[in-house]
Amino acid sequence: MPKSRAASNRKSIEPADALRDCRAAFIGVGIASALVNVLYLTGSFFMLEVYDRVLPSRSIPSLVALSFLALLLYGFQGAFELIRGRMLVRIAGALDETMSGRIYRALVKAPLKLRIQGDGLQALRDFDQVRSFLSGAGPAALFDLPWLPFYIAICFLFHPVIGYIAIGGGLILTLLTYLTNSGTQAPAKKAAEAGGMRNAFAQASQRNAEVVQAMGMAGRMTDLWERRNEEFRLENRRTSDIGNGYGAVSKVFRMALQSGVLAAGAVLVIKGQASPGIIIAGSILTARALAPVELAIGNWRGLVSARQSWQRLKELLKALPEAEAPLALPAPRDRLSVEGLASGPPAAQRLIFTDISFTVHAGSALGIIGPSASGKSSLARAILGVWPAYRGSVRLDGAALDQWDSDALGKHIGYLPQDVELFAGTVAQNICRFAEDATPEAIVAAATAARVNDLILRLPNGYETEIGEGGTALSAGQRQRIALARALYGDPFLVVLDEPNSNLDAEGEQALSEAIMSVRARGGIVVVVAHRPSALASADLVLMMQDGRMQAFGPKDEVLGKVLRRERAQQAERPAPLKIVGDGQEVAK
């Protein structure tokens, strides 16, 4: 059977593959760098010819010819510099085009598979850092570095003394480069970590702005923010100070070295061991030979950050591999089976519930009840495959969830989480899950099934109403009912509702019950996590949980009867409360 369109369009690209795809472009950058570095000799040889040929001969035509030739070569040099810069920008763009989808999928999957620190957006910042470095001046400096021996060889052709001075300067600048690397690596890593924690705190403060304002927490939150920001600022300043310090030393040293070459050339001319043109040409060539080293030192902080970012990206993508989409399975129509399931938070290796087994057939609605922290919402997440199955399995028509492609499986599942989150966009886009091929009929059908069509039509622009980031333009009850319509879009076989009536009024609860009955009537399965009994009105099965274990499962009336009898027995076993009588004695009521 053919794969789904979403699965066939998805490409699994790893960092090494992305760089390999850019190999031809990097070769082009190397060729352009070679031409640029050869053309950098123009200034040195021009001055050499002027001092050694034009001035002794006093030939103006020779000077004009040399000037035109130098101008032409400078033009070619500028053109190749421009080409190299544009090629690097396009390499960064090609890397972005190749990797962005893979990184986004990893970004979304990471909270479900790994223990994430900070705001969870470090991978995105890492990718931006790599892309910015590639499109900047850092790679050009790295491509110029291998030409250092070539320039030094030319210096030896001018005179061995100038060559040895260039070698000494190159060794000192290489030492400065090493010190820059070792000095900035650890602070740069700490600065990145501190920045991630700071941003996570800022985002949490925005999400809880109402709580902070209402309960007078702004002052204390500001103090906590300033501590995190100060940590980030200190690490960032430390990194900058080290990099800028070595950069300043290298710049001053190169200027002093250039003057030293002038002095050495003058001595050689005085002793008759070199021509006057060597003084200027040697100075220019030595400065050019060491310029890439200085430029590399100046951009070393960016190189270190980009290298660390690339390494973190590789580790993240390695931890979240993308397998080939499995063979497409037919749409589920018969049953949901949970077999010996044990699960807990991703990457925590801590079980919230264990040994859950039950089967629900098409046309049924299962209500999951139990006290707080009994594992109800955790079980709902595991049924959806959002949380990992550490033991056991969840099956639809006999096929385990991992036998499905996630995009293909999503068409058969509807989910209303306890904490409703909508995306910036229109009401219609949120209902149809931002599907580009969604039809108006399917959107209206989902809204009608959720009994929210009339509510949407009363909005300012109906289905085209922009709801803002997180649905801030809607009330909590409106968000929950539109999220219910999203869960029902496309008539999914399995619909999981976690506390679906937490923000609903009586009208909304009636609409919820009718929506559950409509799913049952068309042969679907509904799983409802509930605290309020009204959410179970349309359920025919009930699963009772306590302390992470299944206490009872079966027809609703039978299970609820057991629960009530158990509660009465527990109340009867409790000691009677004491009552104080007039003479101060305590007697049982």
Question: According to the model, what pLDDT value does residue 122 have?
Answer: 78
Q: Among residues of the chain, what percentage have pLDDT more than 90?
A: 21
* Alpha helices (H) along 299-404: 300-319, 376-384
What average pLDDT does this structure show over 74-87?
Answer: 91
508: tokens are: 């909304």
Q: Reduced to 3 states, what is the DSSP secondary structure of residue 325? A: coil
Question: According to the model, what pLDDT value does residue 4 have?
Answer: 39
The whole-model pTM stands at 0.69
* Alpha helices (H) along 271-365: 276-298, 300-319
Q: Provide the pLDDT confidence category of residue 75 given band limits of 50, 70 and 90.
A: very high
Question: According to the model, what pLDDT value does residue 457 have?
Answer: 92
pLDDT at 589 over 50: no
pLDDT at 495 over 90: yes
Give 498: exposed, middle or buried? Use CB within 10 Å, 0-12, 13-18, 19+: buried
Pairwise CA distance, residues 72 & 341, whole Å: 76
Q: Are 257 and 167 in contact (CB under 8 A)?
A: no
Question: According to the model, what pLDDT value does residue 118 have?
Answer: 59
Q: Are 463 and 426 in contact (CB under 8 A)?
A: yes
pLDDT at 271 over 90: no
Beta bridge partners of 396: 336, 399
557: tokens are: 């009336």
The answer to which of 12-21, 170-179, 487-496, 562-571 has the lowest mean pLDDT is 562-571
pLDDT digits (tens, 9 = 90+) for 354-381: 999 999 999 999 999 988 888 898 999 9
What average pLDDT does this structure show over 247-266?
Answer: 79
pLDDT digits (tens, 9 = 90+) for 515-568: 999 999 999 999 999 876 667 888 999 999 888 999 889 998 888 887 767 666
- Highest-confidence segment of 314-328, 540-554, 569-583: 540-554
Question: According to the model, what pLDDT value does residue 6 have?
Answer: 41
Pairwise CA distance, residues 408 & 336, whole Å: 17
Distances (CA, A) of 325 to 7, 210, 236: 6, 43, 43
Question: According to the model, what pLDDT value does residue 464 have?
Answer: 92
Pairwise CA distance, residues 197 & 232, whole Å: 9
Output helix, strand, coil percentages for the chain, rounded to the nearest 5.
Answer: 65, 10, 25
Question: According to the model, what pLDDT value does residue 72 have?
Answer: 94
Q: Residue for token digits 């949407």?
A: 456
Residues 6+ apart with CB under 8 A from 23: none
Q: Provide the pLDDT confidence category of residue 573 given band limits of 50, 70 and 90.
A: low
pLDDT at 2 over 70: no
* Alpha helices (H) along 349-388: 376-384
| Angle in degrees, CA 336, 341, 343, rounded to 5 | 120
pLDDT digits (tens, 9 = 90+) for 378-401: 999 999 988 888 899 999 998 998
HSE, CB side, 13 Å, CA atoms: give it for residue 170.
22
Question: According to the model, what pLDDT value does residue 346 have?
Answer: 80
| SS3 track for 507-567 | HHHHHHHHHHHHHHHCCCEEEEECCCHHHHCCCCEEEEEECCEEEEEEEHHHHHHHHHHHH
Pairwise CA distance, residues 154 & 161, whole Å: 12
Mean pLDDT, the chain, as a whole number?
82
Q: Are 274 and 268 in contact (CB under 8 A)?
A: yes
More confident residue, 250 or 172: 172
Q: Provide the pLDDT confidence category of residue 157 given band limits of 50, 70 and 90.
A: confident
* Alpha helices (H) along 320-465: 376-384, 406-410, 427-431, 440-449, 453-457
Radius of gyration of the chain (CA): 35
pLDDT at 7 over 50: no
Q: Reduced to 3 states, what is the DSSP secondary structure of residue 375? A: coil
More confident residue, 587 or 259: 259
